[in-house]
Chains A and B, each alone.
Chain A
Amino acid sequence: MVTPKHILGTFDEALASLRNNVLMMAGLTERSLDRAMKGLFQRDDDLCANAIADDEEIDQLEKQIDKDGVDVLMRFQPLASDLRRVVSAMKLSSNLERMADQATNIARRARKLNQHPPLPELELIAPMHAHAMSMFKDSIDAYVREDVQLGRAVVPRDEKLDELNRVASRRLIQRMAEDPDQLRGYLNLMFIARHLERVGDHATNIAEDAVYAAAAEDIRHQPFVASA
């Protein structure tokens, strides 16, 4: 069903502007993560530098969304779905900003790794990257389409990312013992794995906020129930 417009046109415009800024921020964050990971896999310092540079614009968008959100609350006193949308937009922007910080961290670690010969253990990072980005994209899709089912489905996928991170950490610690000359490199990979694991956490938060925005349902911090 199509949601009817508000009687007050400026209210619709303010909500649309808020949403557009969130979507722009999500796009920039995805690009920043993509550049950071390509910088790592393709050993391209320029892409790493671009990823780091993206962070400034994303930080500014976070401030803009917070300002616009407060402005909407003050001017229009939104209720029901409008209120949930404003609150969710402000929470999304905070999670996106932290994701972009993870992209910056990854890019910085990648630049350090690029100064040395490639490590075959990089292969441990690739599946984590794919899984984290898939969670991120689906969480944003859930928000954009107000798709409660998709939002719900994202949350348990974080378990797999956590497990991939544990596997990578164990393997890298083992390699540190076997090959202490590459200790710094393995440590950088461990940090990158950790940053991707955090990206998954933020994607989970976004998915939870998407469910709240669409259905007013708080699915955070629910006890994990193993599937039968």
Chain B
Amino acid sequence: MESAAIIDPPMITPVSSPQQQVASGSEPTAAAPERPPAFEVERLSIFYGEKKAIENVTLTIPSKMITAIIGPSGCGKSTLLRSLNRMHELVPQTRIEGKVVFAGEDIYAPHIDPVVVRRRIGMVFQKSNPFPTMSIAENVLVGLKLNGVRDRAFLRERLEQSLRMAALWDEVKNDLHKPGISLSGGQQQRLCIARAIAVEPEVLLMDEPASALDPIATAKIEELIHELSSNYTVVIVTHNMQQAGRCSDYTAFLYLGRLIEFASTTKIFTNPSERQTEDYITGRFG
């Protein structure tokens, strides 16, 4: 993990080619205690007004692995995910207690700029949301342009690299000027992933990224998540137990805002330690 302070925006440098990245990336393993943590969440509580959405959660999310957050509706999955890049603060009257340590710094420290946090920790949402007035290319490059990048050759290179990494290049390379919203739902979601990775974040947060997609588009997204995990830390919220089982290395189970269990995905889905986890994943939750 990079140790650069969050207050210093990372230099925008050309990423290596996808081929190089795949070659240099290590295969994710089920147990990787030697992996440095990407996030250290310490006694985190989040309030929306008077309502406590997250209660005293402590967990360590390993870097360059896929961590799934599961739990019933309203348990705080999305809130926890969004708290990892301060996106939940967009909801009025939000308050937090505790810490989220990323790259050695508490992202909630007063001197930390949330915009920089979000640049280094990207997010993909449940519903694909390409900018409707922008072309495919503009959608991918919007983040870079907002950051003042004007070098056309660099932008062109980054456009192709991002779309290739999002497994979309071959499908759109002749239609880059067409509106982003002209793509299918699955393609739009991959476009949003390309947009997120174009600014070279270190982490990708995904909030049910495939819940509105058909099985083929879902499989493409899941394959993409797997590929991305060799270069990125991925945290994914999903309602789909099978998807969590297929995609992730670690799984966290949340219930009523509390972290009930966090363990390797194999452990959670074959022999969870907590009865509440067992009841939820086996469909016995009343």
Q: A residues touching B (Cβ–Cβ < 8 Å)? A: 1, 3-8, 11, 76-84, 215-216
Q: Is B269 among interface residues, defined by CB-CB distance under 8 A?
A: yes
Q: From A11, which residue of chain B is reached at the shortest CB distance?
A: B283
The number of inter-chain residue pairs (CB within 8 angstroms) is: 43
Question: Can you name 13 A-B residue pairings with CB atoms under 8 Å?
Answer: A3-B284, A5-B284, A6-B283, A6-B284, A7-B283, A7-B285, A7-B286, A77-B241, A77-B242, A79-B269, A79-B282, A80-B278, A80-B281
B16 at the interface (CB under 8 A from A): no
* A79 with B286: CB separation less than 8 A: no
Structural contact, B282 and A78, CB atoms closer than 8 A = yes
Q: Choose among B242, B271, B285, B286 the residue that contacts A80 (Cβ–Cβ < 8 A).
A: B271
> Do B241 and A79 have beta carbons less than 8 Å apart?
yes
- Within the assembled complex, what's the spacing in Å between the Cα atoms of A215 and B273? 11
Q: Does B270 contact A84, Cβ atoms closer than 8 Å?
A: yes
Given known A84-B270, A216-B270, A216-B271, contact A79–B284 (CB-CB < 8 A): no
Report the separation of the CA atoms of residues A158 and B255 in the bound assembly, to the nearest whole angstrom. 45
Is residue B201 within 8 Å, beta carbon to beta carbon, of the partner chain? no
Residue of B242, B271, B283, B286 ringed by the most chain A CB atoms within 10 A: B283
CA–CA, A77 and B281, complex, Å: 10
Question: Is B279 on the interface with A (CB-CB < 8 A)?
Answer: yes
How close is A141's CB to chain B, nearest CB, in angstroms? 22
With an 8 A cutoff between CB atoms, is B10 at the interface?
no
- Measured between beta carbons, the chain B residues less than 8 angstroms from A7 are 283-286
Tell me if B185 counts as interface (CB < 8 A to partner A): no
Q: Which B residues touch A82, using CB under 8 A?
A: 282
Expressed in whole angstroms, the Cα–Cα distance for A80 and B271 within the complex equals 5
- Interface residues in B, total, Cβ within 8 A: 17
* Separation of A82 and B278 alpha carbons in the complex (Å): 9
Instruction: Tell me which of A4, A8, A11, A80 contacts B272 (CB under 8 A).
Output: A80
Q: Is the interface of B mostly helix, strand, loop or mixed?
A: helix
Q: How far is the CA of A78 from the CA of B241 in the complex (A)?
A: 10
Whether B281 pairs with A79 at a CB distance below 8 angstroms is yes
Scoring B241, B275, B278, B282 by chain A CB atoms within 10 A of each residue's CB, the highest score goes to B282
Assuming the contacts A216-B270, A216-B271, asked whether A81 and B282 have C-beta atoms less than 8 A apart, the reply is: yes
Which of A4, A8, A11, A79 has the most C-beta atoms of chain B within 10 angstroms of its own C-beta? A79
> Within the complex, what minimum Cβ distance (angstroms) separates B141 from chain A?
40
Judge whether B245 is part of the interface by a CB distance below 8 angstroms.
yes
Asked whether, in the complex, the Cβ of A83 is within 8 Å of the Cβ of B270, the reply is yes
Query: Complex Cα distance A3/B281, Å?
Result: 14
Tell me which residues across on chain B come within 8 A of A215, comparing CB atoms: 271
Chain B contacts with A in 182-225, Cβ cutoff 8 A:
none
Is A4 a contact of B241 with CB atoms below 8 Å? no
The interface residues of chain B lying within 8 Å CB-to-CB of A76 are 283
| 4 pairs of A and B residues whose beta carbons are closest in the complex | A216-B271, A4-B284, A79-B281, A6-B283
Within B253-279, the residues touching A (CB, 8 Å) are 269-272, 275, 277-279
Q: Which residues of A contact B286 (CB under 8 A)?
A: 4, 7
Cα of A105 to Cα of B282 in the assembled complex, Å: 42
- In whole angstroms, how far apart are the Cα atoms of A215 and B278 in the complex? 13
Contacts of A80 in B (CB 8 A): 269-272, 277-278, 281-282
CA distance A153 to B269 in the complex (A): 27
Q: Which residues of B contact A216 (CB under 8 A)?
A: 270-271
What are the residues of chain A within 8 A of B277 when measuring CB–CB? 80
Chain A residues within an 8 Å CB radius of B283: 6-8, 11, 76
Residue of B nearest to A77 (CB): B242
CA distance A146 to B281 in the complex (A): 20
| CA–CA, A82 and B271, complex, Å | 10
**Complex Cα–Cα for A7 and B280 (A):** 10
Flag if B271 contacts A79 (CB, 8 Å).
Answer: no
Minimum distance in angstroms from A42 CB to a CB of chain B: 47
Residue of A nearest to B269 (CB): A79
Q: How far is the CB of B240 from chain A (nearest CB, A)?
A: 10
Q: How far is the CB of A226 from chain B (nearest CB, A)?
A: 30
What 9 additional pairs, Cβ within 8 angstroms, besides A77-B242, A80-B272, A80-B278? Answer: A4-B279, A6-B284, A7-B283, A7-B284, A77-B241, A79-B270, A80-B271, A80-B277, A216-B271
Q: Which single residue of chain A is at the shortest CB-CB distance from B242? A: A77
Please indicate the chain A residues that have their CB under 8 angstroms from the CB of B279 in the complex.
Answer: 4
